[in-house]
Structure 1
């Protein structure tokens, strides 16, 4: 499953580069995450979600009048509220975006995340996180003006993000997050 998702991500990335660059637009986005690690192995007292930030850059390449490819590069603070279950990523989501009209759109696509930070001190659970996170992301967007936009997204982790090498048993967890962000297109 990881290999298929990685191939789809790279295919969409290269497709977005090949699309007509004259009509492309670029922008930035800033928002908030409400994230958690979904796992049967995490005790109830550690399940609280984490509020974090998301900040990134995007490019939008039209494929047709209603369809765009939108690759992004972003930083995202994720995990649970307990410090031992916090992890931050650099992420590359690539969306297929359908525009209903000039104001509303939906977008869906794969996302690859590279772990750049995790809590290093001893916590209640001494978990290490895997280097990569693969997820499927879907969202709704609204263009507030010609340049300003907002979007609401849900990310569903497809891979186990817990490296259970140092934990007895079979410890597994998947990332989940909801993002609300605002952005500006140049």
Structure 2
């Protein structure tokens, strides 16, 4: 059922837009982690990348519907600091948010709405004193059904945007997922949370 929902939302979001709209691209960095859990007491956030496109559909003078499609890296690191050479679990997702944007001024807006994420790739790194063990797995692109991570995630995104000029933007958002980390093997695992800061261009 979830495999049908993702392409359906994608088609609805980008099809037949008759009203005034904008199109934009965003690229930036993510800082991701998980809600508190006993199994991740020594974990620190993981830095990743985010890149995607969005379409702003004007509804009223101050409201717009904004679907998007993004490649986003999430994950977790087990070490003393965010830049330490520690165990890392880096997960790549294809994310489709559909948010409602409220313009507070001509240059400043806030948004909130749901998102659907589909797992596409995971890489795992476990260094020790002599060598670094690495392995990876594919999600929807490889048809791997035996991965421990959630193949799909539904959550909430909230954020803000500032327009530097008529076309350049700065965007920040926070996402809280509903799919538990390693939910196929840990029934009480934590939930993912991601902060994204990006810059972009719209027209």
- Please tell me the TM-score bracket, short chain as reference: 0.7 to 0.9
Task: Please give the alpha-carbon distance, in whole angstroms, between the structure 2 residues aligned to 1:18 and 1:39.
Answer: 43
Shift of 1:159: 2.3
Shift of 1:19: 4.7
Give the structure 2 partner of residue 91 of structure 1.
95
Q: Aligned pair 1:111/2:115, yes or no? A: yes
Cα 1:87–1:67 change in 2 (3 A) is same
Structure 1: which 5+ residue stretches go unaligned?
A: none
Task: Please give the alpha-carbon distance, in whole angstroms, between the structure 2 residues aligned to 1:143 and 1:30.
Answer: 15
Shift of 1:173: 2.1
Deviates more, 1:74-83 or 1:156-165: 156-165
Give the structure 1 partner of residue 138 of structure 2.
none
Task: Please give the alpha-carbon distance, in whole angstroms, between the structure 2 residues aligned to 1:178 and 1:59.
Answer: 21
Over aligned residues, Cα RMSD in angstroms? 2.7
Shift of 1:171: 4.1
The alignment's TM-score, normalised by the length of structure 1, stands at 0.81
Task: Please give the alpha-carbon distance, in whole angstroms, between the structure 1 residues aligned to 2:71 and 2:13.
Answer: 23
Out of 179, 182, 186, the position equivalent to 2:199 is 182
Give the structure 1 partner of residue 142 of structure 2.
none
Alignment of 1:1-186 (within 5 A): 10=9, 14=12, 17=15, 19-21=17-19, 23-45=20-42, 47-82=43-78, 83-119=87-123, 128-165=148-185, 170-186=187-203
Q: What secondary structure sits across from 1:141 in the alignment? A: strand
Larger radius of gyration: 2
Q: Check the 8 A contact 1:132/1:161 in 2, yes or no.
A: no
Residue by residue over 1:135-178, the C-alpha shift from the partner in whole angstroms, topping out at 9 and shown as x without a partner, is 1010011111000011111111122242333x6xx341211011
Task: Please give the alpha-carbon distance, in whole angstroms, between the structure 2 residues aligned to 1:85 and 1:39.
Answer: 17
Q: Which structure has more helix as a fraction of its residues?
A: 1
- In the comparison of the two structures, how many residue pairs are matched? 173
Structure 2: which 5+ residue stretches go unaligned?
A: 79-86, 127-132, 134-146
Q: Check the 8 A contact 1:67/1:99 in 2, yes or no.
A: yes
